[in-house]
Structure 1
Amino acid sequence: MNSTTQYYNQNAQQFFDSTVDVEMQSLYQTFLPLLPHNARILDAGCGSGRDSQAFLQRGYSVDAFDASSKLVTLARQLTGCAVSQSTFMDFTAQPNSYDGIWACASLLHVPESELKATFIHLSQFLKSSGLFYCSFKLGEQEVERNGRFFCDLTARKLHQMVSSTQVLTVASHWETRDVRAGRENEKWLNAILKKRV
């Protein structure tokens, strides 16, 4: 178990409480209309289960996983779904089975040297032309903050990374400010990737 997963296991309830009610509507409105009606979504690194619950309430079919056993328990309680415990690289499913992958503030815990392989691994579960939302803290450093590892990315670096996978392209990217109280100065890089046909 790495230090980041250990952090989430030790601080699961606090993390859950601080994120479960965060307003995400603008991100949902950017991603969900691009998906087919009743799409099947994979919530990769689901954390509290907040987004899985929102997708379920909107009529989507959702599978979710997280590396933290404690967060998996809390996400199961919130959503009523069989959230699985897995890392990104250990996750398995039927290939080409999801219309969309949602990785909100989760892939940012993957070292840059492992990101390409992680994108390639997860994209095999996307249908042809499927969409992949991801978000990272905006920046150029890899750093440990309060017991968690973070890989910050710029748009240029994300484009280079995604292009190198040869299976995904960047359909769009945009910046947002953190919506949590006291973090308004933190910027996020958001992107919607598309699986090549």
Structure 2
Amino acid sequence: MKITGSKDTIDWYDSNAEKYCAGGDKVTFENNAKILLGKLKSNPKVLDAGCGDGRDSQTLSSLGATVVGIDLSQGMIELAKKNRHGIQFLHADFLSIPFPDASFDGIWSHASLVHLDTLIEVKQALDEFNRVLKPEGWLYIYVKEQKGSEETAIVSDSLSNHERFFRYFTKEQLSTLLEESGYMVGDVTIVEDFHGRKEILWIRVFAGKISDK
């Protein structure tokens, strides 16, 4: 399959979900989940936006959250429903989240904005996250850091052994986008790659909702 953008990447995930996710539970982001949940009320309702096979949904659930996972890949959602129990998973687009305003205390967006084609879509996603967040809700974002001038790329990596589309971000750019979408940026940190790939750095952000969009 020739990858030209985000749609092709989603199609690839559909066809390769089980193979791609094999062994994925060896990597956890429990510490990040604890930080997010520590900012929320007890027994919060959390949206996992771009949940994949539900790995992080399960972590959040085990820490006491009521979790809803959504993903644009039908293959990933089927895998999540098969392997993760007691969690609601929906085939849905986080650019148009099928929930009313102020439905969630927190939103977890781990390595999902990286597959959006345009910055317009990124802004749309942040606005949509704002819409479904309750007042004083919190958003967690994890995206790849931009190096040099390249904002997007078709990359063949060791995790997928195939090409995928990625969008890269800078700390300043992401902070500005969040502020424009009604968030207070609480923490922005550059972190090393969780799979030990030296050429990749990630940006971790926790941002609180301060106004409606």
- TM-score normalized by the length of structure 1: 0.92
Query: How far 1:164 sits from its partner (Å)?
Result: 2.2
Q: Distance in 2 between matches of 1:194 and 1:11?
A: 35
Query: How far 1:18 sits from its partner (Å)?
Result: 4.4
Give the match for residue 149 of structure 1.
Answer: 165
2:40–2:106 Cα contact (<8 Å) kept: yes
Query: How far 1:16 sits from its partner (Å)?
Result: 1.2
Query: How far 1:122 sits from its partner (Å)?
Result: 2.0
Q: Does 1:65 align with 2:70?
A: yes
Tell me which of 32, 35, 42 is aligned to 1:30.
35
Query: How far 1:144 sits from its partner (Å)?
Result: 1.7
| Mapping of residues 49-64 of structure 1, within 5 Å | 49-64=54-69
Any idea what the Cα deviations from partners look like across 1:87-122, whole Å, max 9, x if unmatched? Answer: 112321021011100000111111223211111012
- Give the CA RMSD over aligned residues: 1.6
Query: How far 1:21 sits from its partner (Å)?
Result: 2.5
Identity of aligned residues (%): 27
Q: Flag structure 1 segments of 5+ consecutive residues without an equivalent.
A: none
- TM-score normalized by the length of structure 2: 0.85
Q: Distance in 2 between matches of 1:40 and 1:152?
A: 29
2:28–2:56 Cα contact (<8 Å) kept: no
Q: Distance in 1 between matches of 2:44 and 2:126?
A: 20
Q: Flag structure 2 segments of 5+ consecutive residues without an equivalent.
A: 1-5, 157-162
| Mapping of residues 63-142 of structure 1, within 5 Å | 63-80=68-85, 81-110=87-116, 111-139=118-146, 141-142=151-152
Q: Distance in 2 between matches of 1:131 and 1:78?
A: 27
SS of equivalent residue, structure 2 residue 51: coil
Tell me which of 181, 186, 195 is aligned to 1:180.
195
SS of equivalent residue, structure 1 residue 23: coil
2:50–2:112 Cα contact (<8 Å) kept: yes
Tell me which of 173, 179, 191 is aligned to 2:205.
191
Q: Distance in 1 between matches of 2:153 and 2:199?
A: 18
